[in-house]
């Protein structure tokens, strides 16, 4: 069984640029949730994708967008990057077929905005 | 969740002692609670979970206690080891469904050898 993977592990961007982060869900999981974790804080929910549709969104502006593909992998896109977007971006996969809401996290992508 | 800035609460314990990490949750509708361990530069790692129909659950060297009256969780680690040094988060969510996790304030555990 393959766990949740994310790419890239680190990247550095400048203000105003755009970035795409990728996540492959655990085998058999059809739901991907994205979280932003600023330094010294707990993860904050960005949005969730279930069967290729957005299935809930946290308090993040529209310049945070996403996609989910037929193989359930997912992308997080951030436009017009701001300094405060510097954070660890985590994805977590889950499946309602498990019967309960256990989420499995990937290692994260560390984004630095200069 | 509430911002705690750059200064996480810190708990320092001697190797071999027991550790107790506390967490307050906010949503009375949450009926599933999870403790995660996060090491530097890594994603959160599942430690133990508990449903709201229980008040105690034990794992290997870890115990979670749930007090629904005061909306409080605790994580007890027995015989704390240097490898237990990490940041610990509690998270709450409804047990069923695809709802997001709401994370509490983390606690940094430092084990003194």
Residue B1 has its nearest CB partner, among A44, A105, A110, at: A44
Instruction: Please report where in the chains the tokens 């660890």 appear, as a residue.
Output: A88
Q: Distance between alpha carbon B38 and the CA centroid of its chain, in Å?
A: 10
Residue A96 has its nearest CB partner, among B98, B101, B102, at: B98
Q: What is the pLDDT of residue B6?
A: 45
Please state the length of chain A. 114
Report how far residue B18's alpha carbon sits from residue B26's, in angstroms, rounded to the nearest whole number.
27
Mean of per-residue pLDDT scores for chain B: 89
Cβ-defined contact of B89 to A50 (cutoff 8 Å): no
Q: Are strands A53-57 and A31-37 parallel, antiparallel or unpaired?
A: unpaired
Q: What is the pLDDT of residue B7?
A: 57
Q: What is the pLDDT of residue A1?
A: 53
Q: What is the pLDDT of residue B3?
A: 34
Structure tokens at B85: 């040094």
CB of B40 within 8 Å of a chain A CB? The answer is: no
The DSSP secondary-structure symbol of A2 reads -
Cβ-defined contact of B44 to A58 (cutoff 8 Å): no
In this structure, are residues B106 and B90 in contact, taking their beta carbons and an 8 Å threshold?
no
pLDDT digits (tens, 9 = 90+) for B30-61: 889 999 999 988 899 999 999 999 999 999 99
Residues of chain A with pLDDT under 70: 1-2, 98-100
pLDDT digits (tens, 9 = 90+) for B62-107: 999 999 999 999 999 999 999 999 999 999 987 777 788 999 889 9
Q: What is the pLDDT of residue A58?
A: 94
């Amino acid at each position: 069984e393959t766990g949740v993977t994310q790419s890239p592990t680190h990247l550095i961007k400048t203000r105003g640029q755009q970035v795409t982060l990728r996540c492959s869900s655990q085998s058999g999981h059809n739901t991907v949730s994205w979280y932003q974790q600023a330094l010294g804080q707990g993860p904050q929910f960005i949005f969730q994708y279930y069967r290729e549709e957005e299935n809930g969104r946290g308090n993040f502006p529209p310049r945070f967008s996403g996609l989910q593909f037929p193989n359930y992998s997912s992308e997080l896109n951030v436009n017009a990057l701001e300094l405060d977007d510097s954070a660890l971006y985590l994805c977590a996969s889950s499946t309602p077929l498990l019967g309960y809401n256990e989420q499995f996290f990937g290692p994260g992508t560390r984004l630095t905005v200069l | 969740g509430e911002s705690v800035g750059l200064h996480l609460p810190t708990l320092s314990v001697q190797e071999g002692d027991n550790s107790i990490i506390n967490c307050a949750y906010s949503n009375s509708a949450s009926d599933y609670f999870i403790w995660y361990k996060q090491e530097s530069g890594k994603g959160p790692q599942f430690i133990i979970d508990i449903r709201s129909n229980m008040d105690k659950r034990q794992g290997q060297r870890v115990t979670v206690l749930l007090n629904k009256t005061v909306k409080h969780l605790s994580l007890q680690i027995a015989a704390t080891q240097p490898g237990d040094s990490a940041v610990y988060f509690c998270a709450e969510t409804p047990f069923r469904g695809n709802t997001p996790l709401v994370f509490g304030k983390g606690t940094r555990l430092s084990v003194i050898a």
